[in-house]
């Protein structure tokens, strides 16, 4: 797959590089893993999704990633950061930039890079969805993961609409910049869907393979953005304390 539509459809210049970083492990990730382990219907989490903070491990992961950025040659480092306003993403960006010695980097908070809104299925496991909202579970199975929109929430297609707009604005306002985007699993996969013109099935097949604080990187190559790395956890693997984790989505 190419990205001619993304690149050539507007005639606008491109960022020089695009790093897509999933936030570090959060308390929500931990609660989700425990709920699945215990075959529970709901996550034991009383805070709204916007305000869920990083876990202690998540903070360690963010610091490890920041140290990795600090080892890059200065011309290769990010020149601007675009961050989801959700607390776990903000905390990740702050820790990464501080550990990298880039605390003075310009930061833009953009709600279009927020996590997918899950509506009535928020904090439910797959078992919980089938038990509490059996008709919703059937509707999701019928429509498929990409197109299913839970009541009060978003489908992957809905997330695509805001990501397309955000990527266009990056081209309008940050041409030639090396952009660090700190976001969440589904928005990062949707960036790949848009830039590489993946099919819905190809995008969904990538789910569950994006570790916390992993790096997905594009580099400008002539008139295109070339994917150089996907879900790269090397920066964490180089740090003995930053255990790599990859939590699945709570709507599975």
| pLDDT for 10 | 55
pLDDT digits 0-9 by tens, 28-49: 999 999 999 999 999 999 999 9
The total of other beta-carbon atoms located within 10 Å of residue 103's CB is 12
Residue/partner pairs of 98-103 with CB below 8 Å, 24 or more apart: 98/66, 99/62, 99/63, 99/64, 99/65, 99/66, 99/67, 99/69, 99/70, 100/66, 100/67, 100/69, 100/70, 101/70, 102/66, 102/69, 102/70, 102/77, 102/78
Strands (E), 52-144: 80-83, 107-109
Task: Kindly tell me the burial class for residue 104, based on how many C-beta atoms sit within 10 Å of its own C-beta (0-12, 13-18, 19 or more).
Answer: exposed
Output the pLDDT for position 247: 65
pLDDT reading at 57 higher than 90: yes
The answer, yes or no, to whether residue 7 has pLDDT greater than 50, is no
Q: Which two tokens stand for residue 25?
A: 């492990």
Average pLDDT over residues 98-127: 96
Residue 12: per-residue pLDDT: 83
Rounded average pLDDT over 175-180? 97
Q: Quote the tokens at residue 249.
A: 């989505």
State the chain's mean pLDDT as an integer. 92
Average pLDDT on 201-216 reads 95
- Residues making up the chain, counted from first to last: 252
The pLDDT of residue 250? 45
What's the CATH superfamily of 4-27+53-120+144-237? Answer: Phosphoglycerate mutase-like (3.40.50.1240)
Mean pLDDT in residue range 70-89: 97
- Residue 2 pLDDT > 70, yes or no? no
- Per the CB < 8 A criterion, the answer to whether 213 and 26 are in contact is no
pLDDT at 252 over 50: no
What is the mean pLDDT of the segment spanning 53-68? Answer: 97
Q: 106, 60, 46: which is closest to 82 by C-alpha?
A: 106
Mean pLDDT calculated for residue range 216-243: 92
Of residues 125 and 244, which shows the higher confidence score?
125
- Report the predicted TM-score, pTM, of the whole model to 2 decimal places: 0.93
Instruction: Give 212-226 pLDDT, tens digit per residue.
Output: 999 999 999 988 999
Contact 155, 149 (CB under 8 A): yes
């Amino acid at each position: 797959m190419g990205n001619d539509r993304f690149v050539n459809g507007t005639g606008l210049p491109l960022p020089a590089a695009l790093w897509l970083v999933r936030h570090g492990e959060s308390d929500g990730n931990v609660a989700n893993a425990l709920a699945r382990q215990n075959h529970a219907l709901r996550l034991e989490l009383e805070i709204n999704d916007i305000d869920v903070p990083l876990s202690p491990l998540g903070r360690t992961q963010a610091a490890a990633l920041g140290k990795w950025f600090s080892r890059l040659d200065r011309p290769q480092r990010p020149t601007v950061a675009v961050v989801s306003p959700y607390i776990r993403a903000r905390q990740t960006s702050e820790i990464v930039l501080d550990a990298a010695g880039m605390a003075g980097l310009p930061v833009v908070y953009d709600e279009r890079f927020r996590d997918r809104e899950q509506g009535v299925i928020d904090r439910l496991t797959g078992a919980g969805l089938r038990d509490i909202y059996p008709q919703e579970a059937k509707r999701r199975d019928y429509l498929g993961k990409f197109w299913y929109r839970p009541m009060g929430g978003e489908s992957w297609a809905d997330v695509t609409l805001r990501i397309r707009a955000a990527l266009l604005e990056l081209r309008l306002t940050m041409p030639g910049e090396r952009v660090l985007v700190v976001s969440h699993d589904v928005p990062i996969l949707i960036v790949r869907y848009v830039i590489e013109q993946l099919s819905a099935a190809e995008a969904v097949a990538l789910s569950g393979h994006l570790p916390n604080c992993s790096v997905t990187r594009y580099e400008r190559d002539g008139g295109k953005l070339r994917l150089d790395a996907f879900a790269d956890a090397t920066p964490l693997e180089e740090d003995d304390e930053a255990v790599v984790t990859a939590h699945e989505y709570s709507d599975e």
